[in-house]
Amino acid sequence: MLVKTYGSAVLGITATKVTIETEISRGGKFYLVGLPDNAVKESQQRMEAALRTNGFRVPGKRIVVNMAPADIRKEGAAYDLPLAISVLAASDQIRVGEEMLEQYMIMGELSLDGSLRPIRGVLPIALNAKDEGFKGLILPAENSKEAAVVDGLDVYGVSNIIELVDFFEGRSDLKPVEVDFQNEFYVKVEETQLDFSDVKGQENVKRALEVAAAGGHNILMIGAPGSGKTMLARRMPSILPPISLDEALETTKIHSVVGNVSSDMSLMTSRPFRSPHHTISDVALVGGGTYPQPGEISLAHNGILFLDELPEFKRTVLEVMRQPLEDRVINISRAKFSVQYPASFMLVSAMNPCPCGYYNHPEKECVCSIGSIKNYLNKISGPLLDRVDIQIEVIPVPFKDLAKVRPSESSVDIRKRVTKAREIQQNRFKDYEGVYSNSQMNSKMMQKFCTVDDAGMALLKSAIERMGLSARAYDRILKVSRSIADLEGVDVIKTYHLAEAIQYRSLDKDSWGVK
């Protein structure tokens, strides 16, 4: 007898329908074909133990299971449940019609006692089930809330295989999982544990961070140890605008693939903040591996990637970020396939000015030689530095400012201005697909939205000649000045907007006096 059940294979952050065809005939072997990996092949043992534990059996006959399409690699243990149901139906141990099985996509990992373990990639699977026209999706109960955000698809969470057998045979009536989407996603918590009101002094740096947040610009903070670089960076998420529904869906898909979505959460309602250690490998940062997985730059999509002690990262690790910083996607190619992960993130980085950390310090003396300082700064290549829109020096706060009792401006107040500036940009770029902030503008958009008068052009020319800036740095200055104007709520970029944007390039190597 031939029986078909349906699952899904996740490749990148998208999923493809998989048809599991099971045929039982005379013989005594179990054949599993269709490009399964080792975890899928091992499903035979898990399935046999789970069925025996719950009063079923794997018939001692020739069983052939084909997972189509056969040219797509099937990975992981999530096919245990559809395989088990197909074997039970093909051996007439359960009575379920073909028309019933055609209505549902089934995925889940079996324990030896028949209970179900959570799986990865649930949101892409749910979207695939809807696109393929399935009535419902049957998953482990722990994954059901995540899948239930997909509108127009009934999602059923089951705890063990017996619940699913009873449902197919009509002995029980599973109810679709419902998510209170309005309350869960649209109710935002504005107060966070980390707030800019805790930061004493550093008004110029907080202003630079506000401009960066307003336009989605990359920023580099350079200063002595203890000057507050890490403290400021970790408060950056508190001033970013609220995540939109489309951004939340795309971000959740990426984290779902790597299993970062908890069972009590349906969508990620806050922007991600990723802070990898400087010993990270290039594959872990950008993604890849034998079976490609998203890296830190993709897990930071629509959020922040914070790289502390930037020169301590391996040169190869930093250089592989150059293309994603420009294109906002990362392409990972293998011999037989390639995947693409989104990587639209804000790069927030911090570094010391020299090996000892006290070059240009107002009080402490630097003990480094000019050569060692040059070598230290050269760890950050010019092309990578060009892709950082804002470079700001962080000076240690004097004791008199640290002792002040009066708190600084709160993150809530800064966030209001940032959100207003982002709304201006959303309206500006509403006719441009995939463009949401000033940092994403291309040359044609800049010609349209970043017009500068003669006085401004003279200032730009003088700055570029004096500081030795590249053409890419020129573009960055225009984009940053556009964001400064948006924070002020004006349409025209004025000379003082450009002047402020130019000062945020003051940390280019040629301006540091170390050549």
Q: Identify the domain boundary among 410, 434, 458.
A: 434
Distance between CA atoms of residues 406 and 73, nearest Å: 60
172 and 286 fall within a common domain: no
What is the Cα gyration radius of the chain? 28
**Within a domain: 506:** no
In whole angstroms, how far apart are CA 274 and each of 12, 271, 277, 308, 345? 20, 10, 10, 11, 10
161 and 230 fall within a common domain: no
Distance between CA atoms of residues 458 and 364, nearest Å: 38
205 and 81 fall within a common domain: no
**Within a domain: 448:** no
pLDDT at residue 509 in the model: 45
**Within a domain: 233:** yes
Domain hosting 168: range is 2-179
Residue 125 belongs to domain with CATH number: 3.30.230.10
159 and 242 fall within a common domain: no
CA dihedral 287, 293, 297, 301 (to 10 degrees): 150
Number of domain units in the chain: 2
**Within a domain: 287:** yes
Residue 273 belongs to domain with CATH number: 3.40.50.300
Write out the two tokens for 127: 């979207």
**Within a domain: 170:** yes
164 and 276 fall within a common domain: no
Query: Torsions phi, psi of 305, nearest 5?
Result: -110, 115
pLDDT at residue 513 in the model: 47
Find the distance separating the first CA and the last CA of the chain, reported in whole Å.
Answer: 78
**Within a domain: 481:** no
Q: Identify the domain boundary among 434, 467, 495.
A: 434
pLDDT at residue 189 in the model: 43
24 and 158 fall within a common domain: yes
Q: Do the Cβ atoms of 512 and 368 come closer than 8 Å?
A: no
For the entire predicted model, the pTM comes to 0.89
Helix (H) or strand (E) holding 117: strand 116-117
**Within a domain: 29:** yes
pLDDT at residue 506 in the model: 67
161 and 245 fall within a common domain: no
96 and 154 fall within a common domain: yes
Of 265, 254, 259, 247, the residue nearest 146 (C-alpha): 265
311 and 285 fall within a common domain: yes
Tens of pLDDT, residue by residue, the chain (515 residues): 799 999 999 988 999 999 999 999 988 899 999 999 999 999 999 999 999 999 999 898 999 999 999 988 899 999 999 999 999 999 999 998 889 999 999 999 999 999 999 999 999 999 999 999 999 999 999 999 999 989 899 999 999 999 999 999 999 889 999 887 666 655 544 445 688 888 888 889 999 999 999 999 999 999 999 888 999 999 999 999 988 888 889 999 999 999 888 877 778 888 999 999 999 999 999 988 877 889 999 999 999 999 999 999 999 999 999 889 988 999 888 777 788 999 999 999 999 989 998 888 888 888 999 889 888 888 888 888 888 999 999 988 876 666 665 677 889 999 999 999 999 999 999 988 888 899 999 889 999 999 888 898 999 888 888 877 777 788 899 999 999 999 999 998 999 999 999 999 866 544 454 54
Helix (H) or strand (E) holding 107: none
Of 134, 70, 95, the residue nearest 1 (C-alpha): 95
pLDDT at residue 266 in the model: 76
**Within a domain: 191:** no
Task: Enter the DSSP assignment of 227.
Answer: S
In the block, residue with structure tokens 């902030």: 437
Helix (H) or strand (E) holding 489: none
165 and 120 fall within a common domain: yes
Task: Enter the DSSP assignment of 115.
Answer: B
359 and 233 fall within a common domain: yes
217 and 290 fall within a common domain: yes
Contacts of 278-286 with C-beta under 8 Å, sequence gap 24+, read 278/307, 278/308, 278/309, 278/312, 278/313, 280/313, 280/317, 281/314, 281/317, 282/314, 282/316, 282/317, 282/320, 285/317, 285/320, 285/321, 286/320, 286/321, 286/324, 286/330, 286/332, 286/343
pLDDT at residue 403 in the model: 67
Q: Identify the domain boundary among 151, 179, 207.
A: 179
